[in-house]
Structure 1
Amino acid sequence: MFTGIVEDLGTVVGLENGADFARLSVDSPTVVTDRTAIGESIAVNGVCLTVTSVRGTAFTADVMHETLRRSSLGSLRRGDHVDVERAMPADGRFSGHIVSGHIDGTGVVTSITRDGIAVVYTIRAPYALMRFIAEKGSIAVEGISLTVTHAGRDTFGVSIIPHTAAHTVLDERRIGDVVNLETDPIAKYTARLLEMPANGGTDDVTAGTAGDAGTGAITADFLAAHGF
């Protein structure tokens, strides 16, 4: 598990692209020199990867096809900067929000505007992701824990303070750039519970407890029948 608090701005120093995989090497002195071991989890631009080797101040990780399909890691090039965060230790301080490192998909930056000391990024995302994004809720953009400033049907906004801009990749993003998105896991699990009927939608008593006639839908009749 991660918190979305970026520890280091790493640099891509090696990249091997196969037909359905990639091998990524990132130079990250702040992270690697603090006893990073093979097998540990590190988030790169919000994507949870497993360290397969460590050499000097750089670590290497394999990127499978599913990850390439869901994220923007496949478009990285040597010299690109990436946000780096190690997995949260059991006794660590929870400074951001719950971030799994399992990217839901990507969005596209549609506008960048200044608001006092802050910079506001508007990002377009698919409806399948937007339904989990709420104003004043949390979202991870490129692995950065951020607060949603506004949310519409197909776009949402985040506001970046100068410190975040200086220590993450967002300051390098421009209109039209693709960014990795991870929505609030609580919203995803809630939606899944509501859409999936109990016991596969059978018509027995247990199935009906999940909603209306085993459909999993929460209706006014269901709520009234259960004292709401």
Structure 2
Amino acid sequence: MFTGLIEELAIVKDIRFDNQGSKITITSNISEFLKVGDSVSVNGVCLTIIHCNQNNFTVEVIGETLSKTNLSLLAPNQKVNLERALLLSDRIAGHLVTGHVDEVGVIINKIKIGLAVATEISASENLLSMVVSKGSIAVDGISLTVVEVKELSFSVHLIPHTLENTTLSFKGVGSKVNLESDILAKYVSKMLSLPSVKGNVPKTITEEYLIQSGF
């Protein structure tokens, strides 16, 4: 589990592909604090460390993960968003991110608005059904607040700190990004789809209905 607050912009040292997937070696300032078996988020993808030393660590990526994320597009010397797994004693300043990417979206527009950059990203109807304005979404592992949701896209505003410390600073229109919707939205969506609940859900969700439903 992660929070979507990027700890470091690390650098891909080496990447090797085979029939089973790939092995990615990353140069990182926090490598000395990692150990074999630890989970780490690389561009929002939860991966397990299979080798590490003071300066580098290696993760293994299976074929299914490569097909569902943008990790297959990585190359040596590229920068990646890095975050260590959450400790139960940590403060959650972002939102709960599992590192299980739902799909790959595409940046379709970037406009500077004051100090921020409004960024529009395409997504499927299925994912957007679990995205709400002012809610949270993970983009390449970055916890961001949704500004607007459209039929086939959503928008976020990137503040200077995010631009300076994540890969979104150099990803432009046409770039592919890993998307993960809020896990809480998934649980609610699953619950509302149950046969015992589906026929009893009102058109408008009220406070009274939520209380009656145990929230």
Structure 2 length-normalised TM: 0.91
> Quick check: 2:192–2:201 contact (8 Å CA) kept in 1?
no
1:132 to 130, 133, 137: 130
> Quick check: 1:194–1:218 contact (8 Å CA) kept in 2?
no
Counterpart-to-counterpart distance in 1, 2:20 and 2:173 = 28
Match of 1:55 in 2: 53
Match of 1:206 in 2: none
The 5 Å alignment of 1:12-161 reads: 12-29=12-29, 31-33=30-32, 35-161=33-159
Cα distance per residue 1:24-59 (max 9 Å; x no partner): 111111x212x2111001000000000110033111
Count of equivalent residues: 207
Q: CA deviation at 1:170?
A: 0.2
- Unaligned stretches of 5+ in structure 1? 198-209
> Quick check: 1:194–1:217 contact (8 Å CA) kept in 2?
no
- Unaligned stretches of 5+ in structure 2? none
Percent identity over the alignment is: 36
Highest RCO, 1 vs 2 (Cα 8 Å, sep ≥ 6): 2
Counterpart-to-counterpart distance in 1, 2:107 and 2:176 = 7
Match of 2:169 in 1: 171
Bigger Rg, which one? 1
Is the counterpart of residue 190 in structure 1 residue 184 in structure 2? no
Counterpart-to-counterpart distance in 2, 1:219 and 1:102 = 29
Moved over 4 A (4+): none
- Secondary structure of the 1:165 match is helix
Q: CA deviation at 1:169?
A: 0.2
Counterpart-to-counterpart distance in 1, 2:48 and 2:162 = 25
Instruction: Provide the alpha-carbon RMSD of the alignment.
Output: 1.9
Cα distance per residue 1:57-99 (max 9 Å; x no partner): 1110000122112111111111110000000111111110011
**Letter in structure 1 aligned against 2:31:** V
